[in-house]
Amino acid sequence: MNTKLTLQRIGAVLAGLLAIFVLTTAVDIVLHATGVYPPWSEPIGDGLSALATAYRIVISVAGCYIAARLAPDNPMRHALVLGGIGVALSLAGAIATWNARLGPQWYPLALVAVALPCAWAGGLLNVIEQHVNAF
């Protein structure tokens, strides 16, 4: 087994995951600080949940692109592994907060539903980039 290759594979996925966490957290903090979102202790409604879903989709696609771009091989597989991690984390979050009344219950389910399509889109962007650069 090639330890260096294994570490590069893990690093690619972790880099994408870290990018998603950092960027979504930063946007959340800015939206709370600017008054777009209510204080952290108050729930958000459907409109703000839709906004959160929209930027999480964009950021998740970018994070999965990063994982694919940094992958030493099989870039789409790395993006999809990150998507699987996203499904697991989103599902855990949905279960943990289901009765917390933080916002509409469709929101955490939407995050579960979009995780793999975002991963596929991020991986596809990398594939397209590779083909364009090949010309």
Tokens of 41: 């202790």
Mean pLDDT of 114-128: 98
Q: Which residues of 117-127 are buried (b: 16+ CB within 10 A; e: fewer)?
A: ebbbbbbbbbe
Predicted pLDDT of residue 134: 87
Say what the pLDDT of residue 135 is: 83
pLDDT tens digit sequence for 92-112: 999 999 998 899 999 999 999
The boundaries of the domain holding residue 58 are 3-134
Count up the domains in the chain and report the number. Answer: 1
What is the share, in percent, of the chain residues with pLDDT greater than 70? 100
| Contact call for residues 59 and 25 (beta carbons, < 8 A) | no
| Average pLDDT of the residues of the chain | 96
Is 1's pLDDT higher than 90?
no
CA angle at 89 for the pair 86 and 92, rounded to the nearest 5°: 145
Cα–Cα distance measured from residue 120 to residue 86, given in angstroms and rounded to the nearest whole number: 12
Q: Report the C-alpha gap between 28 and 23 in whole angstroms.
A: 9
**pTM for the full model?**
0.95
